[in-house]
Amino acid sequence: MKKAPVTVLRLPRGPDPNSRGFDPNSPRFIALCPTSIPSSAGEGACIEEEQRSRSELRERFLRTLIKMSNKPVNFDMYEGVQVRAKFGASDIDVLNFQVSELQTPIGVQKEALLRCHDMISFSFDV
Amino acid sequence: MAMRQTPLTCSGHTRPVVDLAFSGITPYGYFLISACKDGKPMLRQGDTGDWIGTFLGHKGAVWGATLNKEATKAATAAADFSAKVWDAVTGEEVLTLAHKHIVKTVDFTQDSNSLLTAGNDKLLRIYDLNKPEAEPQEISGHTSAIKKALWCNNDQQILSAADDKTIRLWDKTSSEAVKTLTFDQAVSSMEYIPDGEILVITYGKTVAFYNAHSLDLIKTVDAPTSIHSASLHPDKDYFVAGGDDFKLYKYDYTTKEEMESYKGHFGPVHCVRFSPDGELYASGSEDGTLRLWQTAVGKTYGLWKCVLPACTTEELASENSDAIYCPPEIKA
């Protein structure tokens, strides 16, 4: 006699294509990360002030990225690599930068993705 | 009437899944992490397989992944010559530990204060996670790449399996090898069961069980195919194994008899592990998927639903019924 298959309520949920997950509204996140900002100075010490500084620095960084749009930027990478390209945009997690006209020792790459982990610093003229 | 196993397929990875690990049971359930050659390890809810998040940052294939007991930290070992420690609640990268070669395996101690790493540079490394800049303790001895390294015996000792066809038991304090097991072929996987001090090893078509203290052989079981991974049920009544023929095998641990085999994967099975409550086991395959399998087929658990007889009589009357029936109590 043919066996009947076990029924399931639904299939497991797959990844969200637009985010890396770790929903900050999940009960576990709320319970275990009341403030998701780790303090550099240990317990209790001026969390508010640190939070304010961090927000300011973050905002400054994001504004820098906006200002960089369509401008030529010099990138200092590991292994002494220095390249120049026109900055397009960053991805949401600042893992990759989309650039165009990337000047490399072997020619100009029309469109490219630079990995942020490979960068030490970058600079541009405001 | 017996029921047919319905595996739950967890998609999302784009390359082979090479390692997986469960956390302990936490107030929020238990969790599962999967290591994949696509470089993006994923965290899932353990009993449903629902995706929670992806750890982004590695630049190469991830060969090993683990969670601490509380599922608050994750660690991964990758082909980009680094091991990373992650906050498993926020998904943030907490630490990158640079190595000189591909890292294959990572394991937390029970208190999550130390991380053991090992890989193609043939060294075991112990990092103090409270002092990550400090030089790790290094233990050498293996003559080939280390595939798997685990803490054992209350985190006082370390078990390592390498391509040099040996498994070695090391004392953490002295960095000395206490015992060595030599095989004819490379060991494909290793699992340590603290409760009962059992070591589960696979090589060729064999699943072998050893005492983790003495490294005395308890028993061996031969499978129909080359086995890549096996896992012993927490109650030690079954074990499951998977390998080259894409199937999952379930054996009675006491009698060594093959009880069931399940088709489902479209590629060789690389890793298989029982959940901490023993109610399901997860398998990772070359086909890029994870599948969750019920230990007691037909039982209501997670996303699996046992349809009660009362509903079935109505269904039987209808033309389109699948006649799904579930006896009220299924003994595992």
Q: Are B1 and B261 in contact (CB under 8 A)?
A: no
Separation in Å, CA of B140 to nearest CA in chain A? 30
pTM for this model (two decimals): 0.82
Tokens of B103: 């890292």
Domain that holds residue B294: 2-330
Stretch A33-47: mean pLDDT = 63
Res B29: pLDDT: 97
Share of chain B above pLDDT 70, in %: 92
**Residue B263's closest CA among B287, B230, B280?**
B287
Cβ-based burial of B29 (10 A; exposed 0-12, middle 13-18, buried ≥19): middle
Sign of CA dihedral B199, B294, B88, B62: positive
B233, pLDDT greater than 50: yes
Q: Which of A95-99, B111-115, B315-319 has the lowest mean pLDDT?
A: B315-319
Stretch B205-210: mean pLDDT = 98
Looking at the partner chain, which of B1, B50, B91 has a beta carbon nearest the beta carbon of A12? B50
Burial of A86-124, coded b for 16+ CB within 10 Å and e otherwise, reads bbeebeeeeebbebeebeeeeeeeeebebeebeeeebee
> Using the beta-carbon criterion (under 8 Å), do B52 and A7 form an inter-chain contact?
no
What is the tens place of the pLDDT at every residue in B35-52? Answer: 999 999 999 999 999 999
The total of structural domains in chain B comes to: 1
We find that the CATH architecture of domain A70-124 is Roll (2.30)
d(CA A112, CA A110): 7
Which ipTM value was assigned to this complex? 0.84
Q: Given strand B124-128, what is the order of strands in its sheet?
A: B103-108, B114-119, B124-128, B137-139
Confidence of residue B313 (pLDDT cuts 50, 70, 90): very low
User: Which residues of A make CB contacts under 8 Å with B?
Assistant: 1, 3-16, 20-24, 26-29, 31-33, 36, 93, 95, 115, 117
* B95: CATH: 2.130.10.10
B317, pLDDT greater than 90: no
What integer best gives the mean pLDDT of chain B? 92
B284, pLDDT greater than 80: yes
Separation in Å, CA of B77 to nearest CA in chain A? 17
The torsion angles phi and psi of A58, rounded to 5 degrees, stand at: -65, -45
What is the tens place of the pLDDT at every residue in B244-255? Answer: 999 999 999 999
B210, pLDDT greater than 80: yes
Eight-class DSSP state of A12: P
